[in-house]
Amino acid sequence: MQKWSWIRQGYKGKLKVSWLWCLFLLFAIYTNTTKTLCYIFLMLSVHEGMHVLAGYIFHYPVEKIIIYPFGVCAQMEYIGYGNIAKELLIVVAGPSVHLLFPYFFRWLAAVSVISYPYMEYLQMLNMSIFIFNILPIYPLDGGRIIQCLAHSVLPFRKAQISTLLISVINLYLLFYYRFLSGLNGWIILVFLGFQIIVGFRQLTLAQISFYHYRYLHPVKGRDKLNKGDDLYRARHNIMWRKNGWMDEHQWLALHFHRKRKDMKNTDPMI
């Protein structure tokens, strides 16, 4: 029991059930689709569970887990700020499980839990979920893969902007070629568009959070001689200032000191 204590301690007070379950139960009863919706819930929950498991392996704390009718959503602390290779594995862990579900559904059909026609239907749903999740649109898994790749070559803010711009282009292509149609399609398009807008509005906040994380968790690795005013997430930065080169930790200390000084100078209460 001792080895499972991290579950009891780490997730106490972080597990929440969405109020959308009330609407889900009414919808499932009215449309008589309870069985299919339960399988979709299973697929999405295992998908998110793989993200959580990979995050736990790489020591990414889970901030909150929300149980929605359409699956489990886990919010991890520091995701997007840490080691790129580890975060790529965390992101890929979710979609990869959909490559195993066809074998699971085939086994259910073989033991007569479900029929073979229904097995083919579930496999089609599983493939649709897989393809949707790997679309290069933030905050989908495909968009987060693009984000990690952008962070491997660009400074933090430019990488964030590049990810969002690529997401805008791909979202427009989805709309233009009508890959998503009907009410559900419009809801998804609006949701993804809203998430991209939020991403643009929170660029500065994300950058500050990244700097704070980097100050508390100094990195080791290949040095990057950096004459810019932003950090490369994938490298250990040696920053240029008027009086010469300095380590990124010193640069961050000066950065936060300057920000605090600017706040004092502009705060009318001080």
Q: What is the pLDDT of residues 191-219, one digit of tens each?
A: 899 999 999 999 999 999 999 999 999 88
- Write out pLDDT tens, residues 248-270: 999 999 988 887 766 555 554 44
In a domain, 241, yes or no: yes
Confirm whether 33 is domain-assigned. no
Asked if residue 164 is part of any domain, the answer here is: no
Higher pLDDT, 184 or 87: 87
Please check whether residue 244 lies inside any domain of the structure. Answer: yes
Measured between alpha carbons, how far is 21 from 217 in angstroms, rounded to an integer?
A: 39
User: Which residue would you say has higher pLDDT here, 75 or 266?
Assistant: 75
117 located within any domain: no
Q: Provide the residue range defining the domain that includes 225.
A: 220-266
State the Rg of the chain over Cα. Answer: 22
Q: Which helix (H) or strand (E) holds 120?
A: helix 116-133
- Entry pTM: 0.85
Mean of the per-residue pLDDT values of the chain: 85
d(CA 184, CA 132): 13
- Report if residue 41 sits inside a domain: no
Provide the CA 39 distance to its chain's centre, in angstroms. 23
Any domain includes 227 = yes
**How many folded domains does the chain comprise?**
1
- Asked if residue 16 is part of any domain, the answer here is no
Residue appearing with tokens 């979710």 = 94
Query: In terms of pLDDT, which residue wins out, 183 or 223?
Result: 223
Give the pLDDT score at 65. 77
Whole-Å CA distances, 148 to 36, 141, 192: 34, 11, 19
Query: Among candidates 92, 101, 48, 102, which has minimal Cα distance to 70?
Result: 48
Greater model confidence, 144 or 178 = 144
